[in-house]
Chain A
Amino acid sequence: MQKEKGALGWALIGIAALFLLVMLVLPLVLVASEALAKGWQTYLRAITEPFAVKALYLTLEATVLAVISNTVFGLASAFLLTKFSFRGKSLIGSMIDLPFAISPVVAGLFFIMLFGRMSPLYPFLRAEHITIVFAVPGIILATVFVTFPFITRELVPVMEAQGRDEEEAAATFGASGWQIFRYVTLPNIKWALVYGVILCTARAMGEFGAVSVVSGHVRGKTNTLPLHIEILYNEYNFTAAFAVASILVILAVLILVLRNLAEGRAKRGESHDG
């Protein structure tokens, strides 16, 4: 685009800048200023308070487990969807998108129905002393559920575009299924996978709706960071709420940086001049 920017160009740029300012920059500034409103001391106390630390740990725990299980699931499902043809393939493809379509609150209710008191499974779970809803396992399950399409959705287009030629070539040399995956498929999808993992992490950390339903809001036990922020906020403890929120913001920025790195690598990986 060598052309002079006309009035329209400047107007569009202005609108975009204004939009970014109102929707992104202002909230970030606000979070920072509110969090620090009563000084560093208060800020540090708010984020090192035991319940906040517990909530951070639970969020990280749920995130790590969700990312691990969804990486395995994502790889397996993308492999299945792109490298094999079978009946009901398109059905499975749409099923994987379900968490995108379904409201997280509904997903949470679904787990309550499945593992809560109303469930036919409940007597069995009770007898075995397994608690899922209003406990950590429920939170992890809900997080896994809402984030499971991310990695699959990142991988499928890449794997589809690459076809199965390289895998078949490897097969003609007698490579085993594992060797084909390890030496051919995985390097080809490496950056898409990293990208998917990052998106999945971001989503898992921020998840509110589904987790809120299954959590039961037991402070220091089943509260994740977003839930903890809500509680603080509802108690009119704004400074603490924003202080804890700033942790999530920092994590989000970190993820964005990683995301950009991964994206850059993915692009350069394509052309190999790097």
Chain B
Amino acid sequence: MTAEVHLQHIQKTFGGFKASNDVNLTIEKGRIIGLLGPSGSGKTTILRMIAGLETPDSGDIYIGGQRVNDIEPGKRGIGFVFQNYALFRYMTVRENIAFGLTIQKTPKKKIKERVDALTELVGLKDFGHRYPMQLSGGQRQRVAFARALAPEPELLLLDEPFAAIDAKVRKELRGWLRKAIHKLGITSIFVTHDQDEAVEVADDIVIVNRGHIEQTGTPVEIYQQPRTPFVADFIGEAVHVPDFTIFKGFENGRASGAHEGIIRPEFLEIGADDSEMRMPLASEDGTVRGVYFRGNSAEVDVEVKGQLLKGTRSLEKPPLHEGDTAKVFIHRIYSFAGGKTEILENRAKQIDSVII
């Protein structure tokens, strides 16, 4: 069994501080949802209210069609993986995993079977009699996961499940967790402040900002069609430009009001000279202000018309150096003119395609 989740008009304040401000959310059965937002934006609060560890001031929470506001955490059919795992330190791995079933007075034999299956699933068969202190971060995380799954919850809630794990293991675990959850088909909500993690693990991303949900969508939607300035800014690396009409190809943006926009590194093409550019005439002249090695590419800071932009450059091309002149072509800009988010393509590209 797996359940869908609805949150309706959730408000929650902590001593005057609005941790949740009209949160509305619908989560379909069997999906993995990533609650993504900056630290302090209220993600954990949302998760804890779904679990029943925190009570909303107003609004309704439904799990599997049932209103659960007045139902205690243990009866909501949820499994919760805490940020620091909160494993029972005086219980072994097996005792930790068995805890939920023991509380439910499941017969001993069934408990043993289930614990066997789960230690197998999380690859800790040989660690059953260890205590949490004797495990690595990644192993603890998997124990917490197994423990939460043991009573067969309909909804799995995970708070920053990878935050306390070192970078290399984290990457492995992400893939592992995504596969494990999909195999079980259990609806899952996880909290993260790391967009790579959200993109990699989640089917749908929910962007949280100041206790409010800014946008919900698949990772591709969130990246390609950010609906609010916050999302455009928060997702990917973004450079704000106060007036994008100064750039070639975007001169006649919208007629009235401010012309604030956001340019991402992947929107820029940076060349050493005209010969490297597909559309030299439509390119801007710039000056290189910094070059940073990023492993598989170089990050280039380039100044165009007094505005510092960030782009990337392949390591296969001749390297640029600080102070060099460069050519810059801007493919597109997110515009927030008139309070509406819009993606503007460089006009030169449209004309180009007409000519050919």
Contact = CB atoms under 8 A, between A and B. Distances in A.
A271 interface: yes
A5 interface: no
Contacts of B99: 170, 173, 175, 183
Contacts of B79: 172
Interface in B134-148: 134, 147-148
A174 B133 contact: no
Most buried by B among A169, A175, A179, A273: A169
A272 interface: yes
A147 B97 CA distance: 40
Given A165-B82, A271-B133, A175 B88 contact: no
Nearest to A187: B90
Contact of A168 (B86, B89, B100): B86
Interface string B89-123: 11000000001100110000000000000000000
B41 to A, nearest CB: 21
Contacts of A271: 133
Interface of A is mostly: helix
B63 to A, nearest CB: 13
Contact of B103 (A168, A173, A273): A173
B89 A172 contact: no
Given A168-B53, A175-B103, A272-B133, A188 B78 contact: no
Interface string B23-52: 000000000000000000000000000011
B84 interface: yes
Contacts of B87: 166, 169
A171 B88 contact: no
A32 B95 CA distance: 52
B134 A272 contact: yes
Contact of B88 (A166, A174, A269): A166
Given A165-B82, A169-B80, A174 B104 contact: yes
Given A168-B53, A271-B133, A175 B86 contact: no
A251 interface: no
Contacts of B103: 170, 173-175, 179
A184 interface: yes
B74 interface: yes
A183 B99 CA distance: 10
Contacts of A165: 82, 84, 86
Contacts of B74: 171-175
Interface in B292-347: none
Contacts of B100: 173-174
Interface in A104-163: none
B235 to A, nearest CB: 31
B168 interface: no
A163 to B, nearest CB: 8
A180 B86 CA distance: 13
B183 interface: no
Nearest to A162: B89
B73 interface: yes
Contact of B51 (A172, A175, A188, A272): A172
A105 B72 CA distance: 49
Interface of A: 165-166, 168-175, 179, 183-184, 187-188, 269-273
19 contacts: A166-B86, A166-B88, A166-B89, A168-B53, A168-B82, A169-B82, A169-B147, A171-B53, A172-B53, A172-B73, A172-B79, A173-B103, A174-B100, A174-B104, A175-B99, A179-B103, A184-B88, A187-B90, A270-B133
